[in-house]
Amino acid sequence: MKALLSAVFRKEMRDHLRDRRSVTSVLGGSLLGPVIFAVMFTVVASWNRQDKPLELPVVGRAHAPSLMAFLERSGVRLSEAPPDYESRIQAGTLDAVLIIPENYGKEFAAGRSATVQLVMDNSRNKARFTIRRAQLLLNHYAGLLGTQRLMARGVAPELAAPVRVEEVDLATPERLAASLLNMIPLFLVISCFMGGLNVAIDTMAGERERGSLEPLLLNPVQRGTLVVGKWLATTVFSCTMVVVVAVAFVLVAKRVPLQDLGVKVSLDAVTAVGMMGAVLPLALLASAMQMLVATFARSFKEAQTYLQLLMMLPMIPGMALALSPIQSQMWMYAVPVLGQELLVSELMRGEPLGVAPFVLSTVGCVVLAAVCLAAISRLLSDEKIVFGRS
Using CB under 8 A as the binding rule, the residues of this chain from 222 to 261 that contact other proteins are: 222
The CA-based angle 299-213-289, given to 5 degrees, is: 60
Of 15 and 260, which has the nearer Cβ to other proteins? 15
Query: In angstroms, what is the minimal distance from the CB of 262 to other proteins?
Result: 52
Work out which of 32, 247, 310, 386 binds other proteins, going by CB under 8 A.
386
Query: In angstroms, what is the minimal distance from the CB of 213 to other proteins?
Result: 7
Work out which of 66, 87, 219, 259 binds other proteins, going by CB under 8 A.
219
Q: Tell whether residue 15 is a contact of other proteins (CB under 8 A).
A: yes
How many residues touch other proteins under the rule CB under 8 A: the total is 25
Q: Tell whether residue 383 is a contact of other proteins (CB under 8 A).
A: yes
The residue range among 160-168, 213-221, 347-355, 366-374 that interacts with other proteins, by the rule CB under 8 A, is: 213-221
- Helix locations, the chain, DSSP H: 2-17, 20-47, 65-73, 85-91, 104-109, 125-152, 173-180, 183-195, 197-201, 207-209, 213-217, 223-255, 269-296, 300-312, 315-323, 330-333, 338-348, 356-379, 383-387
Of 227 and 261, which has the nearer Cβ to other proteins? 227
Sequential DSSP letters for 126-173: HHHHHHHHHHHHHHHHHHHHHHHHHHHTT--GGGG-S----------H
The residue range among 119-127, 178-186, 206-214, 299-307 that interacts with other proteins, by the rule CB under 8 A, is: 206-214
Work out which of 111, 154, 220, 352 binds other proteins, going by CB under 8 A.
220
Count of residues making up the chain? 390
Exposed/middle/buried for 23, CB within 10 Å: 0-12, 13-18, 19+? middle
CA distance 219 to 229: 14
Q: Tell whether residue 210 is a contact of other proteins (CB under 8 A).
A: yes
CA distance 319 to 190: 13
Q: Tell whether residue 121 is a contact of other proteins (CB under 8 A).
A: no
The residue range among 168-176, 190-198, 207-215, 263-271 that interacts with other proteins, by the rule CB under 8 A, is: 207-215
Helix, coil or strand: residue 335: coil
CA distance 118 to 272: 47
Work out which of 13, 19, 48, 378 binds other proteins, going by CB under 8 A.
19
Of 148 and 212, which has the nearer Cβ to other proteins? 212
Nearest C-alpha neighbor of 59 from the set 82, 43, 38, 77: 82
CA distance 347 to 330: 15
Of 95 and 207, which has the nearer Cβ to other proteins? 207
Query: In angstroms, what is the minimal distance from the CB of 235 to other proteins?
Result: 20
Query: In angstroms, what is the minimal distance from the CB of 185 to other proteins?
Result: 35
Q: Tell whether residue 14 is a contact of other proteins (CB under 8 A).
A: yes
Residues of this chain that bind other proteins (CB under 8 A): 3-4, 7-8, 11, 14-15, 18-19, 210-222, 383, 386-387
